[in-house]
Amino acid sequence: MSENDSGVRGLYRRGKVWWMSYATSRGRVRESCQTHSKRRAIMILEDRRSQVLRGTFLGVRGSGRMTLHSLLYDKYLPWASTAKAASSYRRDTYSAKRLCEHLGDQRVRSLSVEQIEIYRQRRIDEGVMQATCNRELALLRHCVNKAIQWGLLSGDNPAGKVKSFRERHRVRFLSQDERVRLLHACSQSSQPLLLPLVKLALLSGLRSGELHALRWDDLDLQGGTLTVRHGKGDKSRIVPVNAEAIIILKSINRTSDLVFSIGSFKHSFMTAVRLAELENFRFHDLRRCYATALLTEGADLITVRDLLGHAEIPQTLIYLASSQDRLRRAVDNLPKLDQQSDVVDDTLEGVRVGEGHTLGTHRALALP
């Protein structure tokens, strides 16, 4: 089909897929709209022309044929392998693979908001969780931002205009009975370091990777602190611990530079979880237990944020869960109405309540 056959200048079809053609300062560009819908193709073409007119079209400096696959695997992932934590890099490689399955051949300079939104919906239709889709979109945003920062691209980042899904965060922590059962199960494990590991997680809030990397040189047992050298985002922080945690650390035999010199504790931990008959519980949930316990004992959000090593309060709120015990304690501590009424009565004695009227000593007007 020719351009004129579509009824819209600059829009034509190859097979069942619509393509568009438009002029830029560097010449005429032809690219796929990646859709079978003519209406959607028209919207994409209008959006591209608008970008060109506003001067915000995402142009590539150097190679105008840079694809998303090339940007991710030739530029971004090599950088991430040294700049990010190992766990973050592994997640990026997984997300990059999924992105490239759908958008890998797409030229980065021609990415549009519409195409990214189509990708997002396609991933949901494939049955992936919204949180997984959000991680993939986050990688797309960041890699394009880095490309702009490195001078490979110029203009706006279309991925920055696509909203993430609102995620439902896990609300899982241990009741007192569950905690007793878990610690007992850990004490029965063939891995002798599992019990002190889990106890320290409950008393420090450290992530599994932070515990795994903890070295004896990072401990100040006299001062009661742990130093996390390379936490999330490669950030370091000092975490105070209580006397119970210090006793646990002193009980561990020093066999290497690492405090917990075990290759992996996932299997041992999950075995203990099954033995304790806990449902839907993961090691990272111990961190939520720590945050919830701090809040229950009266710690404010700023303190909890700093102890967890978060940059922003919203990150901390994800980890805080309301337990029935804490809710019960809160309502039980409400002031008694009878006592409050007496105080209000005395305070309002003689206070004017209307023109020419005062409360005087009329107890019937006492406020609850």
Q: Is the pLDDT of residue 293 over 70?
A: yes
Residue type (1 letter), 149:
Q
Look over the chain and give the mean of its residue pLDDT values, rounded to a whole number.
Answer: 81
Q: Is the pLDDT of residue 356 over 60?
A: no
55 vs 67, residue with greater confidence: 67
| Residue 68: predicted pLDDT | 93
pTM over 0.95: no
Which are the contacts of 243, defined by CB distance < 8 A and separation ≥ 6?
224
Dist CA 216 CA 219 (whole Å): 6
Parallel/antiparallel/unpaired status of strands 59-60 and 27-32? unpaired
CATH architecture of 176-307: Orthogonal Bundle (1.10)
Pick the CATH number of 62-168 from 3.40.50.620, 1.10.150.130, 3.40.50.170, 3.40.50.2300: 1.10.150.130
| Residue 327: predicted pLDDT | 66
Q: What would the two tokens of residue 226 be?
A: 């742990």
Domain boundaries, the chain: 1-57, 62-168, 176-307
The angle formed by the CA atoms of residues 257, 261 and 263, to the nearest 5 degrees, is 135
Question: What's the full length of the chain, in residues?
Answer: 368
